[in-house]
Structure 1
Amino acid sequence: MSPEASAAVEAEAARLGDEMDLAEVRRALRLSQDEIGQTLQIGQGSVAKIEKRADMYVSTLRRFIEAMGGELEIVARFADHTVRIRNFSDLSEKSRI
């Protein structure tokens, strides 16, 4: 992604706020469902179904985020501290070996 496109994406993400659903993230990145489907080797209809799910495997969400050029982090927030859960990043590393 070009620096100009990255800046535009960041501006759109800031405009929409900190919370977005998968379809909003994809649109902010100016990606089509077909482009995501090609990266994930699934059809556009399957991408649409994933975007509408309220519940899915962490591995599915991780692959979807990676297909958009991102990295998924799972964070637990407590009253006095925040903890990054690394189990899921460990799975990501193992799947690449």
Structure 2
Amino acid sequence: MANKFSRLRANMSQEARDKAEQKALSMLEEMPLNELRKARGLSQQMLAEVLHVQQPAIAKLEKRTDMYISTLRSHIEAMGGELEVKASFPEGTVKISNFSELGREANG
């Protein structure tokens, strides 16, 4: 018989629980598009309907490593999010504002 997660977690040391929580938070900070879609509870078909494309287009987009920012923005917005482009430097992070209205001008 399988143990319930809550029982397993209760038997973990506080240090192990803290480490597991940090790992989970770290994993949530970065993930591929397909995992993000799944985490949002969306199927490729559902996303395709929102974007008015066929499901294979979503599968293809999720495999791409290079795409237009406007394409990525549409995909993120269809999942209920907002895309921000940021540059990270040793001194800190800067939000790149050139792209904030990209796509909105064409739609507005």
Is TM more than 0.5 here?
yes
Aligned residue runs from structure 1 range 21-32, under 5 A: 21-32=32-43
Aligned residue runs from structure 1 range 1-97, under 5 A: 14=25, 16-97=27-108
Structure 1 runs (4+) deviating above 3 angstroms are 13-16
Give the TM-score normalised by the residue count of structure 1: 0.80
After superposition, give the CA deviation of every residue in 1:16-49 in whole Å (9 maximum; x if it has no partner): 4311000000000010101110111100000000
Distance 1:90 1:61, change over 3 A: same
Give the counterpart letter for 1:52 in structure 2. Answer: K
Distance 1:79 1:56, change over 3 A: same
After superposition, give the CA deviation of every residue in 1:40-70 in whole Å (9 maximum; x if it has no partner): 1100000000000011111100000000000
Aligned residues: 85
Distance 1:15 1:85, change over 3 A: closer
Residue 15 of structure 1 deviates from its aligned partner by 7.7
Give the TM-score normalised by the residue count of structure 2: 0.73
Unmatched 5+ stretches in structure 1: 1-12
Residue 14 of structure 1 deviates from its aligned partner by 4.0
Residue 94 of structure 1 deviates from its aligned partner by 1.4
Q: Which has the larger radius of gyration?
A: 2
